[in-house]
Structure formats: structure tokens, C-alpha cells
């Protein structure tokens, strides 16, 4: 049985291994590319402000004008064509899948440890 210090060392080793995985490196690079792109940051800010504007109109039960709907569609279209955002979305999905697999593996080990008569 591992003591707390040993367990923390193993957790740190796992964290280091995860950080070095290609999916994680790709995700971090894609995230940095989005942060470094002035155009992408402007697009995200415009989209966020416009969706907030539309939510506010909905909350106040005011009509959403055709121009607002068109602007939202145009922003969404621009976002779908932004290479930095596309790369981020792909790498984010890959990263999430990796983390899900890791969490399932840890959960399986915990379940196995709680199940009497089964070997680890």
C-alpha cells in the first residue's frame, strides 16, 4: 500500500507523462495559437458580445431583429473558417478523449481494489 508521499510522487509522474503526450502538446500549442492571434481574439470577443446581446434581448422578451440574427450567423461562419479555432477544437476533443481514457483507467483500478476476490 502506498503512503501519501509515494502516492503524490506517482501522481506527479503521471502528470508529467500526460504533459508530455502528443495530444496534450498539440492542445496547448493550439490554445496558444488562439491566444496569440489578434484576429481570432477579436472574432471571439465580437461573438461573445453579440451572443450576450441576444441573450439580453431574449431575457427582456424583446424581439431579435433580422440584422442581429444575420450578424450572429456571419460571426459563426467566420469562426467555423478560422484555422486557429478549428485546430483548437480538434485538439481539445483529442485532449478530452485522452483524459477520459485516463480517468476510466484510474476508476477501473479503484473499482477492482474494492471488489473482493478479484486481483488487481
Distances (CA, A) of 67 to 47, 54, 63, 64, 72: 14, 11, 11, 8, 9
Asked whether the predicted pLDDT for residue 1 surpasses 90, the reply is: no
The CATH number of the structural domain formed by 4-111 is 1.20.1500.10
Each residue's pLDDT tens digit, 17-39: 999 999 999 999 999 999 999 99
Residue 114's pLDDT is: 87
Residue 120's pLDDT is: 47
Each residue's pLDDT tens digit, 68-107: 999 999 999 999 999 999 999 999 999 999 999 999 999 9
Least confident of 49-53, 58-62, 65-69, 113-117: 113-117
- Closest among 82, 102, 97, 79 to 26, alpha carbons compared: 97
Domains in the chain: boundaries: 4-111
Which SS3 state, helix, strand or coil, does residue 74 take?
Answer: helix
Q: What is the pTM of this model?
A: 0.77
Cα of 83 vs its chain's centroid, Å = 17
Amino acid at each position: 500500500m502506498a503512503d501519501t508521499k509515494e502516492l503524490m510522487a506517482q501522481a506527479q509522474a503521471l502528470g508529467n507523462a500526460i504533459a508530455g503526450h502528443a495530444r496534450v502538446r498539440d492542445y496547448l500549442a493550439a490554445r496558444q495559437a488562439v491566444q496569440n492571434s489578434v484576429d481570432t481574439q477579436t472574432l471571439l470577443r465580437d461573438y461573445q458580445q453579440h451572443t450576450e446581446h441576444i441573450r439580453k434581448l431574449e431575457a427582456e422578451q424583446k424581439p431579435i431583429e433580422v440584422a442581429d440574427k444575420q450578424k450572429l450567423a456571419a460571426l459563426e461562419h467566420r469562426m467555423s473558417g478560422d484555422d486557429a479555432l478549428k485546430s483548437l477544437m480538434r485538439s481539445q476533443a483529442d485532449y478530452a478523449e485522452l483524459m477520459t481514457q485516463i480517468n476510466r483507467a484510474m476508476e477501473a483500478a479503484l473499482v477492482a481494489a474494492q471488489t473482493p476476490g478479484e486481483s488487481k
